[in-house]
Structure 1
Amino acid sequence: MRAAGLAVKRFFSKAKPDDLLLLAITGHGKRDDRGKLFFVNRDTVPDSLWVTGLSAEHVSHEMRNSPARKTVVLLDCCFSGAFVHDEGLAIPLPPAAPGQAATEEDEEDRRTRGTVIITASTSIEQAFETNGDGDKIRSGLFTRCVVDGLETGEADLNRDGEVDVNELYQYVATQMGRIAKGRRQNPTYSAHRMQGVLRIAHSALPQVVDRPQPVRTPRPRPAPVPTNHGPLSRRVLVPLLVLGGLLSGCATQADSTIGGGGCPTPVQVRVAAAPGGLTAYREIAAGFEDWVAGRQHGCRGVDLYVYPVEAGEVTAGLRRGWTTGEDGADYLRDAGPQPDVWLPAAATDVPPGGLRDVIDRVEQVAQTPVVLGVPARARADDGLRRAVLSWPDLFAAVSRDPGVVRADFASSVIARMATAKLYADGTIDQAVARTTVEQPLEKALDAGTYPVGDEAGLLCRQRAARSSTAVIVTEQQLVRFNRGDPLDGACTGAAPPASADRLLAFYPADTPALEQVVVTLDWQGRAQSATTRAYATWFVRWLRQIPGRQVLLRAGLRPPGLDADEPLGPAYGALTVWPFARVVPDEPDELTRSDTATLHAATRRPGRFLVALDASGSMRTVTPDPDRTRFEVAAAAVEQAATRLGRRDELGLLTFSGRATREVLPIAPAGADPVGRVHRATAPIQPAGGTPLYEAVRRGASALRAGPGDPLRTLVVLTDGQDTSGQPRPSAAQTAGVRIFVIAVGDVSCADATLAGLATGTGGRCFDAGKGSLEPVLTGLFRAAWETGN
């Protein structure tokens, strides 16, 4: 242990101020009769820990005296939570070296500082170990979670391309909640004098850009230490002390503190939010964090961790206690960490009953009307903006010229609310709904090659195409589009549109208001501390007070009791004095929603789906499941996705390999047994040869156009390689009228402009499945593609 102590001393003492230090200790931990923590080895004498063990106080002392401004400590041992109570850490904050270039990245590095300690268990808990998958290598559960999160990139929870310490802790806690199977072991997260965000790794996962990224001036950097998760963006020193056996585990403790004169550890409140408004929700959360810090002498007392979750996933997770469901779906993993607060897209997303033991309170804090966003270039009658016409009449006037697009009914609560009004609250007949509403919407959608999805996708296309087509959105979405805010991951970059491309809000007389509610959740003491619940309640109360309402207004919402002002004004396409009528219609009630959904199901156009499945030799690659190849996993995912087809939908399947494509399942109605059809078609196939990708796209698009009627034509291409045939890329004329979804697996990704271009030019999308466990990823991606037709 003497050698380990010297290694720790050298590590901390020889660091530079700009270094980010990452210390990971895995091994045995013991506490003496005073409760002090020691790291022990095989030669440690239990009754002489101070002499023969490595004390946590020694490590704390070296951390305190290190010149480094940024330190991350990962402790994987029994009783590791005792470390944060052993000694207060007063990390010195020296200035940057004289003469250093003041680039934007330098400034970011100078602002980011502090110490974060993540431990495998609390101060009174043991830590558990596990074996490797088939290799019998012993490793701690905590260590396994950390390594998996960094190697796969899954710890990058917000998909911004980097893993920060908060995300790493959240990932580890979530994974151990799934793996530990009820064993009492809770990891802890502690921070001291934190400013900024400590990022420790790059992620190989596809980025989701939810805010403009700063332009950084390049500068020479020291060579980083090689790691499994990719090079870091700054100089990082990483020692790993392995003491004795490897023991660990993970769970949740969000409100522990570090003693001493620094700020207390921020209390983490987990906030599940509707994906379509994620950027705005994070702005609101940041406003609360800043407000709390201003009342706590600059200490960041709370950390609102906002992550995207669909309403259906939240409801399912709440009903199952955020644990594995009866159908085998792991909601703790699939829907993110167990939330303390939920921000749904609309009040109607909240289940009406049956969950009152978990749902504590539902508070309305703002609203935003559903409007018709008409581009200024369309030169529509400006007199129609102030609630002059009903939804059906305004739609009829605008859909003739320049046309109107609406998000997918299944994907968007906004689309469902607008459709209810276009259907006169479900009272018109099927023929009228089809000819006066759905057909004009489909015509405009196809003519502009708009994606079938949510409003963010439509606005992304609107931004790129500079179209005259009108878009059904909320006032908040329209204002944020005109302001140049990011579109919640639908496309990269953000800039205010040109004056002719700005959307002007037209307010129908009977337009409903989308209610922004905040749901606080009470898990009755399970994985939720009293402090966390108190901050969650404080957040809701703040949203109803003047400071919170001002932040809601800046985010583009209309909070009650506050006069509307910019951005809700002419500068960003809105009219400040809405509502123009005395009574604002509520969100559609349950009966209206049911009638509208039934009518839409009868009037929507069916989907014609063709799956082009790569059967080249590389698809024989074995997946993490050693009993199945990529092709077998992909075929199983197609089988699972086929269960989502409607009665009027059609499905076909072709494979491509060598120099040819082969139709193995003709396009036909799904029938009573779509899974059996897919299984019987794919079972005999043996992958081999090259990848004639372009020919598969050409043949698939031609087959989809050949059928009768006017269905939604969708080609799903799954491939793990680029085209090897030498043929030219399909032209726009050869893919016209077909939306293409590309699913890239294995060694290819959507970063390849060729693959991404096949999809984005047709109103489709490109998805990255990567090299990990393919089946859940592919099933989810196929589900997304399938829902465009349902």
Structure 2
Amino acid sequence: MRAAGLMVRDFFSHADPDDMLLLHISGHGERDSDGNLYFVNHDTMRDSLWVTGLKADHISAEIRDSPARRIVVLLDCCYAGAFVQHDGVLAGLGPEKPPASTPMPGYKAGNPDDRHHRGEVVITAATSIEHAYESDAGLFTRCVVHGLETGRADMNRDGAVDSYELYQYVAARMRRDAATPRQSPTYSAHRMQGILRIAHSARDLAPDRPPPPRPAPAPATVPRGRGPLPRRVLLPLLVVAGLLCGCGIQADGAVAGGGCPAPAQVRVAAAPGGLGAYREVAAGFEGWVAERQHGCRAVDLYVYPAAVDDLTEGLRRGWGVGGDGRDYLRDVGPHPDVWLPAAADEVPPDSRDVIDRVELIGQTPIVLGVPARARIPGDEEQRPSVLSLPALLAAVGGRHGVVRGDFAGSAVARMATATLYQDGTLDPALARTDIEQPLERFLDSGGYPVGDEAALLCHQRRVRGSTAVLLTEQQVVRFNRGDAPDGGCVGGAAPAAGDRLHAFYPATTPAVRQVAVTLNWPRSAQGGTARSYAAWFVRWLRQKPGRQALLRSGLRPIGLDAADPIGPANGALADWPFAHWVPGEPNALTRRDVAALYAAARRPGRFLVALDASGSMNTVTADPDRTRFEVAAAAVEQAASRLGRRDELGLLTFSGRSAREVLPIAAAGGDPVGRVRRSAAGIRPAGDTPLYEAVRRGAAALRAGPGDAQRTLVVLTDGKDTSGQPRPSAAQTAGVRIFVIAVGDVSCADAALAALTTDSGGRCFDAGPDSLQPALTSMFRAVWDMEGD
């Protein structure tokens, strides 16, 4: 392949600006895991394409750098359409509409006017996801030869065959040849000016007839109408075709070296977090089929990652171009023949026209993976479904912390959250303070990324910490076995003893059901062979060999008892579910309620505390060492400790005739209590109580901040307004909820305070003179209960 690459380079680099270059490659194409196209030879190794194959992008680069202004590329190989999908001369230009081919009587090849026509054209035998078939020679090549040799490709009868006429003729001939498998040639024109004429043709056209089969790839001996092509064009055709011929471009013919047919490709879209496991299972199916095909690798399962949102939207759009202009074939991947989602509930109910069958193939329980170094005596008794998930989270999280995957991107995280929220019935304030804030705190303090369980495990592998992870039993087994968790890190070695995860099985927590989805597409996008192998693969997953392959990947297959690797050696307990009932996955209504509660619990709050610093706040409380102001300042610190890192907090004080901001509104960060304490340290209460001025100024400061955070003004005061100013108007407090905590000589029975709070949608709370803790608890619960109002 090195020789082929050098000759391609010489062909394009040793050209003159007025030359027209025609490159025709007839051979075998392969795609790597990233979708890059390679041209391969008999000595190319599939697992080392980048070293032993000729990358399409390298040819694109030569086209980009060539002095020639007229270039035509004909590709007769599998997946040839991928040539224009990657970086190179064609990237970013976009295909242009071909110019109309108008008759030009008296046209002669080599017309000087053609020197003003320029551009690059690529005509391929198949799309980026299709095979290119042959009998004795490639169907595409035979049609090209026939069109040029007979002159039938001169569609407008002007005496010349231009690039788009050739494409039209070849596409029509291939569609009409009903005896052959369907494949779809493609045409891509770039930077076009005028028409690129390839050859001249005879005027007296012979009757149209099917292109005859040829014993060898045609590019080496193709006559082009009346007279040969220039040697500048013909010589590279001889070289490239000679190097690549016999590599196999057919699904039914023999491939040089072994006599096996080229494998049929089945496209399998898998959840990114399960990519490694499903690639192992796919390799098992390929090997099982090869054993029954005399050692020939008859099927190639191309397993690629696809996020659920991308895939479900692609199904709805028919995998074409979406309403937002997004091209799913280019941006997501090929049409999948089989989809392996992260959980059964990810399968959309509104794509039944594309979905053929949904088969349950296994399940894996949601567990808490606790590092061995974090365990204490007595933990072993709690492992087999003794504690509920909230209780387990409290017991383990209180010591070392727990992290959970991103709710938006992980089915496991969403199912675990539903259980933590008691299927959406939990009080919003408790969801925020008891679940979301601790999870967020340990996620931030441990430096964990926002991602799925695979990303968390990658970080866990690096930091070797004591934090527990909410994940599945399968992921625990694969982590302890040293498998790469598909989060961008490398496996290969089992973790050290202290880093190994031990699975704690919560009571009444649903298991993640794994399904395989077979998809039906039009014949233009899915050949019959791929469809048959896809159905065979899914059936195999439910048969004993397939179930054993799923078990080896750490999944619990349907109808097969758990065995190695699911066991104590890999941190699991094989006898789950321990005679306990396993609930079903949350239904659509529960998922909706949980999502709404999660959004409310995670919605950032913007809090500004207005602290009364008038002279009456110097009054000593029942504790002779503390004044009302000192008790109120301690309450503000308590309030700060309840905030999440994304919440915002500010502090202003009011006394005399004005209010002043002593702590600007900003993210609470890692030490909100310290920020409040330092800001309030130098305040000395004195003067009157300008309460209304504080409310006006605080509401204005809260509204000035960006975003959709809940805006809350908390007023701590022991008296009425003494400024003589009017009460703030509704316009001045719009968008801000006002909560008042009344201490000392004033109470919520005061009509002015009651009106101030109720008009804004807030509340007033009476507090005792010595402690504001009960009032704060009630106040925060009210704030978060009303966030969704």
TM-score norm. by structure 2 comes to: 0.51
1:451 aligns with 2:445: no
Partner of 1:280: 277
Q: Deviation digits for residues 551-599 of structure 1, max 9, x if unmatched? A: 1001000002111111100000000111113421122111111010000
Equivalent pair of 1:467/1:501 in contact (CA under 8 Å): yes
Residue 536 of structure 1: which of 510, 534, 549 is its match? 534
**Alpha-carbon separation, structure 1, partners of 2:354 and 2:337:** 10
Matches within 5 A, 1:401-550: 401-550=399-548
Q: Output the aligned Cα RMSD.
A: 5.0
SS of the residue corresponding to residue 494 of structure 2 reads coil
Unaligned regions of 5+ residues in structure 2, if any? 10-18, 31-38, 57-62, 92-123, 133-163, 175-232, 241-248, 607-643, 651-662, 673-789
2: CA distance between counterparts of 1:415 and 1:409?
5
CA shift digits 1:668-711 (9 cap, x unpaired): xxxxxxxxxxxxxxxxxxxxxxxxxxxxxxxxxxxx99814359
Q: How far is the alpha carbon of 1:90 from its aligned partner?
A: 13
SS, match of residue 389 in structure 1: strand
1:371 aligns with 2:367: yes
Amino acid at match of 1:146: F
The superposition leaves residues 192-214 of structure 1 with CA deviations (integer Å, 9 ceiling, x where unpaired) of xxxxxxxxxxxxxxxxxxxxxxx
Q: 2: CA distance between counterparts of 1:545 and 1:552?
A: 11
Q: Distance in 1 between matches of 2:432 and 2:7?
A: 63
Name the CA shift for 1:149/1:596 in 2 (closer, same or farther; >3 Å). same
Separation in structure 1 between the aligned mates of residue 173 and residue 272 of structure 2, nearest angstrom: 28
What are the within-5 Å matches in structure 2 for residues 62-101 of structure 1? none
Q: Which one of the candidate residues 314, 319, 327 is aligned to 1:317?
A: 314
Counterpart in the other structure of 2:588: 590
1:139 aligns with 2:98: no
User: What is aligned with 1:297?
Assistant: 294
1:311 counterpart letter in structure 2? V
Distance 1:490 1:117, change over 3 A: closer
Quote the Cα distance in structure 2 between the aligned partners of 1:284 and 1:531: 20
**Counterpart in 2 of 1:707?**
666
Of the three residues 338, 360, 363, the one matched with 2:356 is 360
Instruction: Say whether the 8 Å CA contact 1:131–1:137 is kept in structure 2.
Output: no
What SS does the corresponding residue of 1:432 show, helix, strand or coil? helix
- Any idea what the Cα deviations from partners look like across 1:503-534, whole Å, max 9, x if unmatched? 00000011111111000001142321211111
Alignment check: 8 A CA contact 2:441 2:645 kept: no
Instruction: Say if 1:530 and 1:174 are closer, same or farther in 2 by CA, change over 3 A.
Output: closer
Provide closer, same or farther for how the CA distance between residues 132 and 153 of structure 1 changes in structure 2, counting only shifts above 3 A.
Answer: closer
Equivalences for 1:686-725 in 2 at 5 Å? 707-710=666-669
Residue 507 of structure 1 aligns to a residue whose secondary structure is strand
* 1:270 to 2:279 alignment: no
Q: Which one is further off, 547-556 or 255-264? A: 255-264
Shift of 1:497: 0.9
For residue 735 of structure 2, what is the aligned residue in structure 1? Answer: none
Corresponding letter in the other structure for 1:592? T
Sort the Cα spacing of 1:418 and 1:141 in 2 relative to 1 into closer, same or farther, 3 A: farther
Do the aligned partners of 1:361 and 1:521 also contact (CA within 8 Å) in 2?
yes
Deviation at 1:449, TM superposition (A): 1.2
Amino-acid identity (%): 55
CA shift, 1:393, in A, is 1.2
Q: Paired residue for 2:253? A: 257
Give me the whole-angstrom Cα distance separating, in 2, the residues matched to 1:23 and 1:262: 29
Alignment of 1:544-559 (within 5 A): 544-559=542-557
Would the alpha carbon gap of residues 169 and 150 (structure 1) be closer, same or farther in structure 2, given more than 3 Å must change?
farther
Displacement, 1:149?
A: 3.5
CA contact (8 A) 1:605 1:710 kept: no
**Hey, what's the Cα distance between the residues in 2 that align with 1:445 and 1:462?**
11
SS at match of 1:388: strand
Distance 1:351 1:505, change over 3 A: same
Cα distance in structure 2, aligned partners of 1:705 and 1:274: 44
- Provide the residue aligned with 1:389 in structure 2: 387
In structure 2, the CA distance between the partners of 1:602 and 1:387, relative to structure 1 (3 Å rule), is same
Query: What is the aligned partner in structure 2 of residue 757 from structure 1?
Result: none
Q: CA deviation at 1:254?
A: 7.9
Q: TM-score, normalised by structure 1?
A: 0.51
Could you tell me whether the CA contact under 8 Å between 2:85 and 2:330 is conserved in 1? no
Question: Which residue is equivalent to 1:727?
Answer: none
Tell me if structure 2 keeps the 8 A contact 1:21–1:72: no
Aligned mates of 1:509, 1:582 — CA distance in 2: 8
| Shift in alpha-carbon separation, 1:464–1:330, aligned structure 2, 3 A | same
Q: Distance in 1 between matches of 2:461 and 2:508?
A: 28
For residue 712 of structure 1, report the CA deviation from its aligned partner.
Answer: 14
**How far is 1:542 from its partner?**
0.6
Match of 1:328 among 325, 340, 352: 325
Give the superposition deviation at 1:494.
3.8
- Tell me: CA distance 1:303–1:709, structure 2 relative to 1, closer, same or farther (3 Å): same
In structure 2, what is the equivalent of residue 226 of structure 1? none
**What are the equivalent positions in structure 2 for 1:204-215 lying under 5 Å apart?**
none
Bigger Rg, structure 1 or 2: 2
- Residues 145 and 517 from structure 1, CA distance in 2 versus in 1: closer, same or farther, beyond 3 angstroms? closer
Distance verdict in 2 for CA 1:599–1:360, change over 3 Å = same
Judge conservation of contact 2:646–2:668 (CA < 8 Å) in 1. Answer: no
Aligned residue identity for 1:480: R
For 2:698, the equivalent position in structure 1 comes to: none
Give, as a single letter, the amino acid of the residue that structure 2 aligns with 1:137: R
Q: Could you tell me how far apart the structure 1 residues matched to 2:237 and 2:41 are?
A: 27
The Cα offsets for residues 215-259 of structure 1, whole Å up to 9 and x where unpaired, read as xxxxxxxxxxxxxxxxxxxxxxxx995459x9xxxxxx9844337
Measure the CA separation in 2 of the matches of 1:73 and 1:589: 45
Q: Cα distance, 1:600 vs. partner? A: 0.3
Pair 1:572–1:451, CA change in 2 (3 A): same
